[in-house]
A = this chain, B = another copy of it.
């Protein structure tokens, strides 16, 4: 259940509403509102609202409208917001912002190394992906690694290098955050907070990302074996915490075939576009695990109507400290951007014909 709050509601009216919602839901957490569709909204669990509370809610001055949805997710649902969510990446730092989502946006290309390894590697790559036409620089400062003995990233030093790379190239920066206690530190340097597949149901992290003080967009990767419903409910944690800027990222799901351990589920792109208004990008690097497949699956992703791509690029993939096997060169990126742009144009024209 989503409640739209009246523009005219004063602080007393709002306090009244919040007190009633706390009473109804028995929530220990303060209840948070989110700005969506130009209005302030708040979502609660409809199962907790009995019919009497319903009419009580309607009678409050603060309440403009009550939306009852029959999906488990509320704010993420296209039934609530029919138009696409449009998110500006890079609004708060000195860089060239780019918009994802929205009516006629071009595919947004996020590219860069798996991990920030050192100043030279990062700056070189950043300049190369910029030249290739990318819109956002990706790079891991904190790396979730399956083994404690693998390279874990440069940490805060990596964040500083990313900020420097943004200064030099003008590209906004996306980087991963792995724990609630680090959200503000990462938010200080990044333009988009990335939440990785292993943290797709790390609820304290989702809440913290939802509450980041700069309302930076959050790119939420699909869990290793998340259903679409679980994924949208993870997004709902961020939305319900007050942050409407969520980008979904398909990165492959677990499979039984040792030859393709992750299966890129491209059908989820149009399926999600029915279910939610949030933008969806595809990660062809992790989902395929092999650089030869990245250009082809990038084309297929855009043909499936993904609104962007996040791609691992390394100036010298074979020496990369992590994920070299799936990293492409800047030259390959140039070709990918040209091809996906042709496909996106073709789709746009086809749709305008229809």
User: Could you list which residues of chain A lie within 8 angstroms of chain B, going by C-beta atoms?
Assistant: 25-26, 28-29, 43-45, 47-48, 72-74, 144-152, 154-155, 178-181, 198-199, 201-205, 207, 223-225, 227-230, 233, 236-237, 240-241, 253-261, 263-271, 274, 287-288, 292-293, 296-297, 299-305, 335, 338-339, 342-343, 346-347, 350, 354
Contact = CB atoms under 8 A, between A and B. Distances in A.
- Copies per complex? 4
B297 A270 contact: yes
Nearest to A43: B149
- For the complex of A and B, the 6 pairs showing the least CB-CB separation, nearest first, are A45-B149, A303-B303, A198-B201, A300-B304, A179-B204, A225-B225
B181 A181 contact: yes
Nearest to A29: B152
B335 A339 contact: no
Contact of A203 (B144, B230, B338, B346): B144
28 contacts: A26-B151, A28-B154, A29-B152, A43-B149, A45-B149, A45-B150, A48-B149, A72-B146, A73-B147, A148-B207, A148-B237, A149-B236, A149-B240, A178-B202, A202-B202, A225-B256, A228-B259, A229-B259, A260-B271, A267-B288, A267-B297, A296-B303, A299-B343, A300-B304, A303-B304, A303-B343, A339-B350, A346-B346
Contact of A180 (B73, B179, B255, B338): B179
Nearest to A255: B256
Contacts of A350: 335, 338-339
A203 B145 contact: yes
A149 B224 CA distance: 23
Contact of A300 (B256, B259, B301): B301
Contacts of A47: 149
Nearest to A346: B342
Nearest to A234: B146
A268 B261 CA distance: 11
Contact of A274 (B25, B292, B297, B303): B292
B148 A233 contact: yes
Contacts of A228: 257, 259-260
Contacts of A178: 202-204
Given A180-B181, A205-B179, A263 B260 contact: no
Given A274-B292, A288-B267, A259 B145 contact: no
Nearest to A230: B146
A73 B237 CA distance: 34
Contacts of A263: 253, 263, 265, 267
Nearest to A305: B296
Given A45-B149, A253-B255, 20 more contacts: A43-B149, A73-B147, A144-B201, A144-B203, A146-B201, A146-B233, A148-B207, A149-B236, A178-B203, A179-B180, A179-B205, A198-B202, A254-B254, A255-B265, A264-B266, A264-B267, A296-B303, A296-B304, A339-B346, A339-B347
